[in-house]
Chains A and B, each alone.
Chain A
Amino acid sequence: MDAAKRIVVLGVGNLLLSDEGVGVRVVERLPQAYVVPPEVALLDGGTCGMEMLEDLEDLDVLILVDAVRAHKAPGTPVRLAGDAVPVFFKTKLSPHQVGLSDVLATLELIGKAPKYTAILGIQPVSLETGMALTPEVEARLPELMRMVADELAAQGVALVPRAAAGAGAQAALQAGARTAQAA
């Protein structure tokens, strides 16, 4: 593992539009499910734009987590890397208008773009107004977090799962809290 690597896991999306906020929820819950080493910065980007420029400069690895319109069955996890990344931004596979594509274009302009970018996401079930994820997407969240861990492992950074029972209980608590809030 190269300790000097600069790695960001960036969750984006709007928390007020149900599954649109899935990226932010992943970033919120990742530390409860895994021990995240200090060289991995978790960033809740919401729907922000230029404010994130500095946080995203000169990265070795950017893992973007978002709701992705991939024309797959709702709730399907999606991974995009390599050539699919620019396509993602050009064709707005992300259902929200975030300004993030412009932040990345700006990073290109100033020569500080991430060396490696991967996009992990999920086909949303609903984008209705509401603060809770749909049960379908909620159920796939552990899988999406595992994909983040796998992606980081491929980059030489290990996320250690917290004790399985503990993590399960945590997730259940979280889900319960969300449902209660939305009610």
Chain B
Amino acid sequence: MSKRVTIDPVTRIEGHLRVDVEVDAGRVKKAWASGQMWRGVENILVGRDPRDAWAITQRICGVCTTVHAICSVRAVENALQLEIPVNAQYIRNLIVLAHAIHDHIVHFYHLSALDWVDVTSALKADPKKASSLAESLSNWSGNSASEFTKVRDRLSGFVGTGQLGIFTNGYWGHPAMKLPPEVNLIATAHYLQALEIQRYASKIVAVLGSKSPHIQNVAVGGVANALAIDSQSVLTVERLLAVKEWIEKLNDFVKNVYLVDVAVVGGFYPEWTKIGRGIVDYISVPDIPLDGKGTQFALPGGHIAGGDLSTFKEITNFNDTYFRDGVAESVKHSWYEGGKGPLHPYQGETKPEYTDFQDNGKYSWLKSPTFYGKPMQVGPLPRVAAMVAAKHEPTIAYATKALDLVSTVAKTKVGLDALHSTIGRHAARAVSAAVQVDELARQWDLLLANMAKGDLKTFNKPVFPKGEIAGVGFHEAPRGVLSHWVVIDDGKIKNYQCVVPTTWNAAPRNEKDEPGAYEACLLDTPVAVPDQPLEVLRTVHSFDPCLACAVHIVDEENNEVVKVKAA
């Protein structure tokens, strides 16, 4: 008999997403992903000044404020074909890279590690054994026996009070938990250390963005930071030297802790390299522009068909027509007025039409985006796959390092194909963070070198023409491709559409009734205990869902988290 399991909300911390799965004989047979709140933000923007759009769109989502700000100014600049000063590009790059590293660290340790790590098991660990294991894998300074003893004692005090606090909702003792106590202790210690480290990424965003948590320095045409070699009131070399120190701390943690931990966890869960494959049509975009026009990028991106890296087709610049012409959104299964078939974002409409949750009809506030008619997966895995396909050397090096370590721990050779999986998405995210932290250091060097040449320009004034123009801005955000599409008429916004990463991944079925990425990746996921569907959460969390981003809030006075009903 099949059972229907509803998980709502699925995120431990952010956003609002509902996932329904039908489980039969211990496996997921059908899945539905549904955004539970209307996103009408686009409608707010109509009629406004395009120069204000970034400040409004950065309020769409609590977790991805920065990415919407950056993407919005890119869209308007694209419409104007406005080149920006290279310093502005470097400063934006530093912000988005620091933001991405922050997201990746927090996602792994604080939003999803507890799907794999049993904190209560860490209490049984021998700190000395844990330390010698950790020290055999990395030269991180926080792996001593005394550090681990301290963490275990602190945890023990916490558990002793019966107040698990932030750890309350974990699936402790679940049969799918497989890490030995020592590894659980190592991961818990790193969870706490990651809380310390993540602040350095936040600080970089705050110093360069002039304010935290919402950046203030972005402008259509560049950035509002005044650069100076010596003045106190602006972004000085002194402040930039502090940024450099923080970059080094992030570098140490990402390379010696995060990348290692992900590989070790993967090594203990080798079966999860075969679960959660789902959609392997990937789309990512190039990012970290190196010139004012966006024709050269530090990190490549593009399309991959069927998980086959040899099919890679690169997206090359901000005016790339292959990307611009390929995106469309269907509302056949979404709570919007439809009937026009999939629409290109320039023609996109956002008119709500709510029905009940209909398994074969409309069931989500998310639209269903496609690339040349096909559903896609976006995120770190598509990004890393594209960078490997583009022969980006650092990506290949970090991916190889991670997979070698997985192989050592799992005692079996694990190759690149293992990345197309639930645990592979975590590994790809860590590889991505390692690449990004190198690039962060490089962008810092580029900014300083350019300032040293005497170029302190950060802004080119936009001028809006009479008549209609349109533009797209894209950004390879932490969760994958983000694109903003703007139509401007006589200097005012006529249409604005955001196609966000979680909409790609958590999309409902499309015009041809094909499932979205979550829905496809969940098929065949094992579920040991239907009313504790930890395995389903593992796959959904591996995407770093952020439904605060794709939809906003749900007024839920009913606190039931898991509903189980016979179907």
**A-facing mask of B102-116, CB < 8 A → 1, else 0?**
100010001000000
Interface residue tally on B, bucketed by range: 35 or more
Task: Judge whether B56 is part of the interface by a CB distance below 8 angstroms.
Answer: yes
Contacting residue for B166 out of A45, A97, A102, CB 8 A = A102
Q: Which residues of B contact A110 (CB under 8 A)?
A: 192, 195
Provide 10 A-B residue pairs closer than 8 Å at the C-beta atoms, listed in order of the A residue. Answer: A14-B553, A50-B110, A51-B212, A54-B199, A55-B212, A92-B556, A96-B553, A99-B62, A129-B44, A131-B44
- Asked if B195 contacts A106 (CB within 8 A), the reply is yes
**B-facing mask of A48-79, CB < 8 A → 1, else 0?**
11111111000000000000010000000000
CA distance A8 to B213 in the complex (A): 14
Task: Judge whether B160 is part of the interface by a CB distance below 8 angstroms.
Answer: no
CA distance A129 to B39 in the complex (A): 8
Contacting residue for B214 out of A16, A46, A105, CB 8 A = A46
Q: Which residues of B contact A109 (CB under 8 A)?
A: 158, 165-166, 192
Q: Which of A114-159 contact B (CB under 8 A)?
A: 127, 129-131
Task: Judge whether A39 is part of the interface by a CB distance below 8 angstroms.
Answer: no
Q: Which residues of B contact A102 (CB under 8 A)?
A: 12-13, 110, 166
Q: Which residue of A lies closest to B212 (CB)?
A: A51
- Asked if B552 contacts A14 (CB within 8 A), the reply is yes
- Asked if A48 contacts B166 (CB within 8 A), the reply is no
- Asked if A91 contacts B559 (CB within 8 A), the reply is yes
Q: Which of A31-47 contact B (CB under 8 A)?
A: 44-47
Contacting residue for A106 out of B40, B166, B203, B557, CB 8 A = B166
- Asked if B548 contacts A47 (CB within 8 A), the reply is yes
Task: Judge whether A15 is part of the interface by a CB distance below 8 angstroms.
Answer: yes
- Asked if A16 contacts B44 (CB within 8 A), the reply is yes
- Asked if B14 contacts A97 (CB within 8 A), the reply is yes
Q: Which residues of A contact B16 (CB under 8 A)?
A: 97
- Asked if A49 contacts B63 (CB within 8 A), the reply is yes
- Asked if A46 contacts B41 (CB within 8 A), the reply is no
Task: Judge whether B9 is part of the interface by a CB distance below 8 angstroms.
Answer: yes
Q: Is the interface of B mostly helix, strand, loop or mixed?
A: loop
- Asked if B60 contacts A16 (CB within 8 A), the reply is yes
Known: A108-B165, A109-B158, A110-B195. A95 touches B62 (CB 8 A): no
- Asked if A48 contacts B559 (CB within 8 A), the reply is no
Which residues does B use to contact A, with CB under 8 Å? 9, 12-16, 38, 40-41, 43-44, 56, 59-63, 65, 102, 106, 110, 158, 165-166, 192, 195, 198-199, 202-203, 205, 212-214, 548, 552-557, 559
CA distance A14 to B554 in the complex (A): 12
Shortest Cβ distance from residue A14 to the other chain B in the assembled complex, whole angstroms: 6
- Asked if A95 contacts B213 (CB within 8 A), the reply is no
| Most chain A CB within a 10 A radius of its CB, from B59, B63, B199 | B59
Q: Which residue of A lies closest to B350 (CB)?
A: A129
CA distance A78 to B324 in the complex (A): 49
Contacting residue for B198 out of A16, A46, A50, A131, CB 8 A = A50
Q: Which residues of A contact B213 (CB under 8 A)?
A: 44-46, 48, 51-52
Task: Judge whether A175 is part of the interface by a CB distance below 8 angstroms.
Answer: no
**6 other A-B residue contacts (CB within 8 Å) besides A49-B63, A51-B213:** A16-B552, A47-B59, A47-B62, A69-B557, A99-B14, A108-B165
- Asked if B166 contacts A53 (CB within 8 A), the reply is no
Known: A51-B213, A92-B559. A129 touches B38 (CB 8 A): yes
Contacting residue for B62 out of A49, A55, A127, CB 8 A = A49
Known: A69-B557, A97-B548. A49 touches B13 (CB 8 A): yes
Q: Which residue of A lies closest to B52 (CB)?
A: A181
Report the 7 A-B pairs with minimum CB-CB distance, sorted nearest first. A47-B62, A129-B40, A105-B166, A48-B213, A51-B213, A96-B553, A105-B165
CA distance A47 to B59 in the complex (A): 8
Q: Which residues of A contact B12 (CB under 8 A)?
A: 102
- Asked if B555 contacts A127 (CB within 8 A), the reply is yes
CA distance A173 to B261 in the complex (A): 54
Task: Judge whether A171 is part of the interface by a CB distance below 8 angstroms.
Answer: no
- Asked if A48 contacts B195 (CB within 8 A), the reply is no
Shortest Cβ distance from residue A85 to the other chain B in the assembled complex, whole angstroms: 14
Shortest Cβ distance from residue A124 to the other chain B in the assembled complex, whole angstroms: 10
CA distance A129 to B212 in the complex (A): 24
Q: Which of A85-106 contact B (CB under 8 A)?
A: 91-92, 95-99, 102, 105-106
Task: Judge whether A80 is part of the interface by a CB distance below 8 angstroms.
Answer: no
- Asked if B552 contacts A96 (CB within 8 A), the reply is yes
CA distance A47 to B214 in the complex (A): 10
Q: Which residue of A lies closest to B163 (CB)?
A: A108
Q: Which residues of B contact A16 (CB under 8 A)?
A: 41, 44, 56, 59-60, 552
Shortest Cβ distance from residue B344 to the other chain A in the assembled complex, whole angstroms: 23
Task: Judge whether A167 is part of the interface by a CB distance below 8 angstroms.
Answer: no
CA distance A97 to B546 in the complex (A): 11
Known: A92-B556, A105-B165, A129-B44. A99 touches B195 (CB 8 A): no
Q: Which residues of A contact B106 (CB under 8 A)?
A: 50
Q: Which residue of A lies closest to B158 (CB)?
A: A109
Q: Which residues of B contact A69 (CB under 8 A)?
A: 555, 557
Contacting residue for A17 out of B65, B166, B553, CB 8 A = B553
Q: Which residue of A lies closest to B43 (CB)?
A: A129
Q: Which residues of A contact B63 (CB under 8 A)?
A: 48-49, 99
- Asked if B556 contacts A48 (CB within 8 A), the reply is no
Known: A16-B41, A129-B38. A99 touches B557 (CB 8 A): no
CA distance A46 to B214 in the complex (A): 8
- Asked if B165 contacts A97 (CB within 8 A), the reply is no
Known: A45-B213, A47-B62, A48-B63. A53 touches B552 (CB 8 A): no
| Most chain B CB within a 10 A radius of its CB, from A14, A47, A69 | A47
Shortest Cβ distance from residue B391 to the other chain A in the assembled complex, whole angstroms: 35
Q: Which residues of B contact A44 (CB under 8 A)?
A: 213-214
Q: Which residues of A contact B195 (CB under 8 A)?
A: 53, 106, 110
Contacting residue for B56 out of A47, A53, A131, CB 8 A = A131
Known: A91-B559, A109-B158. A48 touches B56 (CB 8 A): no
CA distance A181 to B516 in the complex (A): 37
- Asked if A129 contacts B553 (CB within 8 A), the reply is no
- Asked if A97 contacts B9 (CB within 8 A), the reply is yes
CA distance A46 to B557 in the complex (A): 22
